Amino acid sequence: MDFIRTHIKNNTAWLTIDRPEAANALSKQVLEEITETLASLERDRSIRALVITGAGDKVFSAGADLKERRELPQEEVPFAVKRIRETVDAVAAFPVPTICALNGPAFGGGFELALACDIRLCTEHTTFALTETTLAIIPGAGGTQRLPREIGPARAKEMIFTGKKIDAVKAEEWGLVTAVCDRDSLISETEALTDRIASNGPVALRQAKFAISEGTQTDLTTGIAIEAKAYEVTIPTSDRLEGLEAFKEKRKPEYTGK
């Protein structure tokens, strides 16, 4: 891997976009490496959470690599957009909780990548924008769909129609991020969050994510039926019995994902 670094700590996988000289832009190679890394990590059943972040402290990701895009023949542009969309969708579909640790501004496709994660934390100097309409295009990797679901249609329309940026304070106020951190504490606060997540039952984490992700896309009655089916998956697990036993014995449970 040239632009993606990974490591696993405390059952949490960390994926870092390492292309700071190009503002961590999502070139064809970066996207291919992210997709390949996600496929590899998904096969590792010991992973209970995934963190996506960027290298450096200036920017999370400036989005699509516009220098690369300018050199593409017009007929190839739809395929380039499709590639970003597929990568972002792969993040959204990743089966364990995903956390985006935004070490700086997220624009365009970089913002869409962050939107595909379940939880977002950012630094104080982070800004967010979908600037595509200023380039006479629209967000093409889920931005027009995921952003309204996070902050409401009116706010999302204003951001997309104008291409304006919002800062970290506004992002937290709107519920786009759950915490705003100092630059020096972003990683430690993210680790504290993932440690709490990863200490819980692996099967339960996957089923909780499935129930929330699928249920929020439908009506309440159907959503509750989805929840019931997801709950049934956890009943025959040894982890469920371990949780009850640990509670009885007033000790920390030792979950195995079985």
CB 140 within 8 A of CB 160: no
Residues 70 and 178 placed together within one structural domain of the fold: yes
Residues 168 and 221 placed together within one structural domain of the fold: no
Of the residues 108, 112, 168, 243, which is catalytic?
Answer: 112
Of the residues 13, 62, 101, 132, which is catalytic?
Answer: 132
CB 188 within 8 A of CB 10: no
Of the residues 49, 55, 62, 64, which is catalytic?
Answer: 64
Identify the domain containing residue 39 by its residue range.
Answer: 4-198
Domain termination site, one of 161, 180, 198: 198
Helix%, strand%, coil% for the chain, nearest 5: 50, 15, 30
Summarize the confidence of residues 21-49 as an average pLDDT: 96
Asked whether residue 73 carries a pLDDT value surpassing 90, the answer given is no
In a domain, 254, yes or no: no
CB 27 within 8 A of CB 79: no
Asked whether residue 72 carries a pLDDT value surpassing 90, the answer given is no
Q: What is the pLDDT of residues 97-148, one digit of tens each?
A: 999 999 999 999 999 999 999 999 999 999 999 999 999 999 999 999 999 9
Lookup result for tokens 């994926």? 15
Is position 55 annotated as part of the catalytic site?
no
Lookup result for tokens 């970089």? 110
pLDDT at residue 171, as a whole number: 98
Is position 143 annotated as part of the catalytic site?
no
Is position 32 annotated as part of the catalytic site?
no
CATH number at residue 236: 1.10.12.10
Classified as helix, coil or strand, 178 is: coil
Between 16 and 64, name the one with better pLDDT: 16
Mean pLDDT computed over every residue of the chain: 95
Of the residues 54, 63, 109, 201, which is catalytic?
Answer: 109
Residues near 73 by Cβ (< 8 Å), separated by ≥ 6?
A: none
Is position 80 annotated as part of the catalytic site?
no
Domain termination site, one of 198, 223, 240: 198
Residues 133 and 244 placed together within one structural domain of the fold: no
- Indicate the pLDDT class of residue 7, thresholds 50, 70 and 90: very high
Q: What is the pLDDT of residues 43-54, one digit of tens each?
A: 999 999 999 999
- Indicate the pLDDT class of residue 74, thresholds 50, 70 and 90: confident
CA–CA distance, 201 with 237 (Å, rounded to integer): 10
Residues 92 and 155 placed together within one structural domain of the fold: yes
CA angle at 194 for the pair 192 and 195, rounded to the nearest 5°: 65
Looking at the structure of the chain, the number of domains it has is: 2
* Residues facing residue 16 across a β-bridge: 5, 53
Residues 152 and 75 placed together within one structural domain of the fold: yes
Query: What is the radius of gyration, based on Cα positions, of the chain?
Result: 19
Whole-prediction pTM value? 0.94
pLDDT at residue 70, as a whole number: 83
pLDDT at residue 76, as a whole number: 87
